[in-house]
A = this chain, B = another copy of it.
Amino acid sequence: MPHLTQIKVRGYHLDIYQHVNNARYLEFLEEARWSYLEDAGDVAFFAEMHLAWVIVNININYRQAATNGQTLNIATQFSKIGGKSAVIHQVISIAGSDVVVADADITFVCLDQRTGKAVAIDGELLARLSTHLTD
C-alpha cells in the first residue's frame, strides 16, 4: 500500500491559468516524500549513515488541472531499486474521486555527505530500501 499525504489546494498555489502551477506540484511531491520517509523512520536512518537523497531525474505527467479548494491525495511508494539509484513513484489524485491530476517518477541517488559522492546501493542500505518495495 502506498503512503498517503493530503494537501488542500489554496489560492496561492494557483497561477495565471487558475490551476496549480507546474513547479508547485514538485513541492507537493517533496512534502509527501518527506512525510513518507519520516513515517518510515528513514530520515533518522539516513542522517545516521551521513547519506543525503539527491534527485537525478523527475519525470512528471500533468494529466488534469487542480483548482482552488480541492483536496489532493498524494500516493508515494518505491517502485524500483537499482545498483546506484532508486525510483519513487507518486500519484496525485483528487480526494473522493478517481481523477488523477499528475503522476511522477522520482529517481535519486544516495550521496555520502562526507565524500560528496553517490554510494552503491548494497548491504545495509539495500536491505533498508528493499523493505519499502513490499510495504
Query: A12-B15, A15-B14, A62-B57 known; A24 and B23 CB under 8 Å?
Result: yes
A10 at the binding interface (Cβ < 8 Å): yes
Indicate if the CB atoms of A61 and B56 lie closer than 8 Å.
yes
Interface size bracket, A side: 35 or more
* Candidates B12, B31, B63, B68; contact of A10 at CB < 8 Å: B31
Binary per-residue interface labels of chain A (36-55) against chain B in the complex, 1 for a CB within 8 Å, 0 otherwise:
00000001000000001011
* Residues on the B chain within 8 Å of A69, using CB: 43
Task: State the oligomeric state as a number of copies.
Answer: 4
* Candidates B18, B22, B24, B30; contact of A58 at CB < 8 Å: B22
A97 at the binding interface (Cβ < 8 Å): no
* Residues on the B chain within 8 Å of A18, using CB: 16, 18
- Once the chains are docked, how many angstroms separate the CA of A27 from the CA of B65? 18
Give the interface of A toward B (CB within 8 A): 8, 10-18, 21-24, 26-27, 30-31, 34-35, 43, 52, 54-63, 65, 68-69
Closest 10 CB pairs of A and B: A11-B16, A23-B26, A59-B59, A23-B27, A12-B15, A14-B16, A10-B34, A12-B21, A11-B15, A23-B23
List 9 additional A-B contacts (Cβ < 8 Å) besides A23-B27, A54-B65: A11-B15, A12-B27, A14-B14, A15-B15, A16-B68, A56-B61, A56-B62, A57-B61, A58-B58
